[in-house]
Structure 1
Amino acid sequence: MRVGDVERAAERIAGHARRTPVLEMSPGLFLKLETAQHSGSFKVRGGFNRALAAREAGALPEAGLIAASGGNHGLAVAYAARALGVRAEIFVPTVSSPVKVAGLRALGAEVTQTGEIYAEAYEASAKRAAATGALEVHAYDHPDVVAGQGTVGLEVLEQTGGVDTVLVAVGGGGLVAGITAAVAGRARVVAVEPELIPTLNRALAAGGPVQVEVSGVGADALGASRIGRIAYEVTSAAGVGSLLVPDEAIIEARQELWRSCRLAAEPAGAAAFAALHSGAYVPAPGERVAVIVCGANTDPATLGKRAG
């Protein structure tokens, strides 16, 4: 995965995905608001890039798009399918937020809830894709998906005039891999993971992707039980480090984003900010830091509560 792949994705999805705003929360601290993206998260970038690349190659089937998701990726694929006039079939685990499941159905997707974790929903979706011939849009481990997510990084550099560090939440790793490729040689990337879902952290320690248990407040969006192959290869080659933050820090960061900026972020969306807010990451004097606030698919009524 190289910056050229991300640049081509940016050209392809222009006019389909939004160029989301950047908020300077304090001098030198920037929030990239993927909360304002179509379908409520960065995931629509990768969904569109995968579908549009297939259409360019004459490989977008009549059966449409199929995906497994904790919720956000499914919403993105359903949104892209509706925009492109094709059908979408989405498989989600039972842990998925009711807000996200309702959103999938509102977008016209056919929804199947199966399995307790993402990996089980993915297995069911893969079998269905083989039976129907639908285009499988992997949540994080396909080059077109990763390149699409990386367009967030290109925008950060352009909109801020350059930063030293980008903090990125990690589940399966599509976003962190794409951004790492996009900002290579221009900024460093720090991965932020919930303590209860340390997919990249464990992989870096083990020398390759390993299975982890999935639980905690971020499970519905950062619920991959294994880091993606592309994400591991890209981040390990680039020397990306992983910080772990407890659920309580994620909850407090989410509440702070609401109090200070009136940003309704889901727990996964607040995870990267939690590293700063909790002191797990302390910028050096004068360091310019961008934080990706990656998702907003939550019930606003829960902003003062422990879960989203």
Structure 2
Amino acid sequence: MWKDRHMMISLADVLSAAERIHGRVRKTPVIELGREKPTSRGSVWLKLEQMQHTGSFKPRGAFNRILKAMEENRLPETGVIAASGGNAGLGVAYAAARIGVQARVFVPETAPPVKVAKLRKLGADVVQVGRIYDDAYRAAARECEKTGALFCHAYDQPEICAGQGTLGLELLEQIEGVETILLAVGGGGLFAGVATAVQGHARVVAVEPECAPTLNTALAKGGPVDVAVSGVAADSLGATLIGDLGYQVAVETRSESLLVSEDAIREARRFLWDDCRIAVEHGAASAMAALLSGAYKPERDERVAVVICGANTDPSDLAG
């Protein structure tokens, strides 16, 4: 239906996305870690994408998907549909509201009430169905077939990935000579976009929880396969299958995937709060966990950027 079986993404796509969404998303800041630096080797910067609209990078891709459809006269009167109880749904709802089109977001009945409330506050028509994300996804697919609405995939569409890749273009401008970018991977949309945007300038290292190794398993098996997902980061890194685009880009760029433990993720989240006063969700702390735990060890004088990609968390346990 909405999925192109010959999906590809190029630097030209990312550059077009940057022009298309300019002025609609924030160019989020970077900060260099000083005395609180988690490693004595190299320089470390944080890309503060948790300060993006809705608290994550997702509006970048959502704006690009919807605006490109409008340019090509492919946006139906029935609006847009997404399946997500988390950051992707919020990104689509926000973009649709700002553009002036109707958004319907399908979420499982188990979705956190706070996120459902945020979706409704943004003007989305929220449909709760089933117990897990796949139930909501299938319901969204049926609705798209019925109404002809434009589907906004959480992570596996070229326009979505290209929009997320604009974050990579910003990093190249903001950190002179950046060599390595660490970012968390769930379905792989952010990874696919950023790795495409910075290819030839910097390498991207994927970081995944041990309890949600979608890309890591795909690289080991020679293709995307379903994996069991659990753990503290499952609310934001809960995809059970790496996207086709994320896998293709990982193979093409010869990227690596590192796994981090639950304890390492919790410790990284505490570090970001205690030492940097940055409140993030567990999934967003995964990239920092790779540095703190030693899963990624920079070379001496290496210039490393860590993407802090989401802040939609319950702050009550940050000091715990």
Q: TM-score range by the shorter chain?
A: over 0.9
Whether 1:96 and 2:106 are equivalent positions in the alignment is no
Q: Which residue of 2 aligns with 1:188?
A: 203
Deviation per CA, 1:251-279: give whole Å up to 9, x if none. 11111111111111011111111111111
Letter of the aligned partner of 2:28 in structure 1?
T
CA distance in 2, matches of 1:211, 1:244: 17
Q: Do 1:70 and 1:221's aligned partners in 2 also have CA atoms closer than 8 Å?
A: no
Q: Do 2:274 and 2:319's aligned partners in 1 also have CA atoms closer than 8 Å?
A: no
Q: Which residue of 1 aligns with 2:37?
A: none
Letter of the aligned partner of 1:183 in structure 2?
V
Q: Which residue of 2 aligns with 1:204?
A: 219
Which secondary structure state, in structure 1, belongs to the residue aligned with residue 33 of structure 2?
strand
Task: Tell me the CA shift for residue 304 of structure 1.
Answer: 2.8
Q: Do 1:32 and 1:291's aligned partners in 2 also have CA atoms closer than 8 Å?
A: yes
Q: Which of 63, 70, 77 is residue 62 of structure 1 equivalent to?
A: 77
Task: Tell me the CA shift for residue 115 of structure 1.
Answer: 3.4
Q: What TM-score results when the alignment is normalised by the length of structure 1?
A: 0.96
**Deviates most, 245-254 or 185-194:** 245-254
Task: Tell me the CA shift for residue 95 of structure 1.
Answer: 4.8
Task: Tell me the CA shift for residue 201 of structure 1.
Answer: 0.4
Deviation per CA, 1:141-199: give whole Å up to 9, x if none. 10000000001111011011131100010000000010110000100110000111100
Whether 1:5 and 2:13 are equivalent positions in the alignment is yes
Which secondary structure state, in structure 2, belongs to the residue aligned with residue 6 of structure 1?
helix
Deviation per CA, 1:69-107: give whole Å up to 9, x if none. 241000000000100111111112345333322211111
Q: Do 2:54 and 2:90's aligned partners in 1 also have CA atoms closer than 8 Å?
A: yes
RMSD: 1.3
Count of aligned residue pairs for this structure pair: 305
CA distance in 2, matches of 1:286, 1:98: 45
Task: Tell me the CA shift for residue 118 of structure 1.
Answer: 2.6
Q: Which residue of 2 aligns with 1:50?
A: 65
Letter of the aligned partner of 2:201 in structure 1?
R
Deviation per CA, 1:92-144: give whole Å up to 9, x if none. 23453333222111111111233343333211111111112211000111000
Structure 1 runs not aligned, ≥5 long: none
Q: Which residue of 1 aligns with 2:230?
A: 215
Q: What TM-score results when the alignment is normalised by the length of structure 2?
A: 0.92
Query: After superposition, where does 1:264-275 map in structure 2 within 5 Å?
Result: 264-275=279-290
Query: After superposition, where does 1:100-249 map in structure 2 within 5 Å?
Result: 100-249=115-264
Task: Tell me the CA shift for residue 4 of structure 1.
Answer: 1.3
CA distance in 1, matches of 2:30, 2:151: 32
Structure 2 runs not aligned, ≥5 long: 1-8, 35-41
**Deviates most, 31-40 or 101-110:** 101-110
